[in-house]
Chains A and B, each alone.
Chain A
Amino acid sequence: LAKTTQPISMDSYEGQEVNITCSHNNIATNDYITWYQQFPSQGPRFIIQGYKTKVTNEVASLFIPADRKSSTLSLPRVSLSDTAVYYCLVGDPPNQAGTALIFGKGTTLSVSS
């Protein structure tokens, strides 16, 4: 499994766009990139998944350059409720044996007013 490196923490203010970058230099050809969000006293929650280029949903965007050695989770106009830990996961795509979900240390995002 590819090792991931993320900043330990980030600070932002309400209304700003936040970009969290994850490095995964040893990503394999078949690996997908997935981001989860975790609030205190709750289990992680799926945010977005991608393989290449750009993926956007109602919550976030995921930018993946052509070499796929890094990815950036973009949160538009954050609010106080976006304060959480964000995890970048890189691993096998879903297959018959299920998806491997290996979490690293994550990035603690703190949003202030």
Chain B
Amino acid sequence: EAGVAQSPRYKIIEKRQSVAFWCNPISGHATLYWYQQILGQGPKLLIQFQNNGVVDDSQLPKDRFSAERLKGVDSTLKIQPAKLEDSAVYLCASSYGTPINPEAFFGQGTRLTVV
């Protein structure tokens, strides 16, 4: 079974620039998550999709961050404009979200450095 694919793996941008991350979840997974993980901290949930609808985006800084999941499959996360404090690893995860298959599978993440 193919895993969660994310691209790019690394990105370096200057502050105030824009950046986009892409995630392709495991086939058949209805639930998709985006997390931000700052070095030394646990992953922080940014947004959760169920199919192409948003379940939770309460911690997404909506003035600069946006995310979409068109057709309920792939997803993109965008930051515009980036700030220095956005430097982090951005993780995408997906799951069936059912009692029989509760586990979420994570991609390797995109490491963003804002200079």
Which residues of B does A touch, CB under 8 Å?
4, 30-31, 33, 35, 41-45, 48, 50, 55-56, 91, 93, 95-99, 101-109
At the interface, yes or no: A13 with Cβ under 8 Å from chain B? Answer: no
Query: In the bound complex, how far is the Cα of B48 from the Cα of A103, in angstroms?
Result: 14
Distance (whole angstroms) from the CB of B104 to the closest CB of chain A: 6
Which interface residue of B42, B44, B98, B101 has the most chain A CB atoms within 10 A?
A: B42
Q: Which of A19-27, A61-69, A74-82, A89-97 binds B? A: A89-97
Residues of A within 8 A of B31 (CB): 98-99
Query: In the bound complex, how far is the Cα of B56 from the Cα of A80, in angstroms?
Result: 37
Inter-chain contact B33/A43, CB cutoff 8 Å: no
A-B contact count (CB 8 A): 70
Interface of A is mostly: loop
Query: In the bound complex, how far is the Cα of B41 from the Cα of A106, in angstroms?
Result: 8
Residues of B within 8 A of A49 (CB): 102-103
Inter-chain contact B102/A106, CB cutoff 8 Å: no
Query: In the bound complex, how far is the Cα of B108 from the Cα of A102, in angstroms?
Result: 18
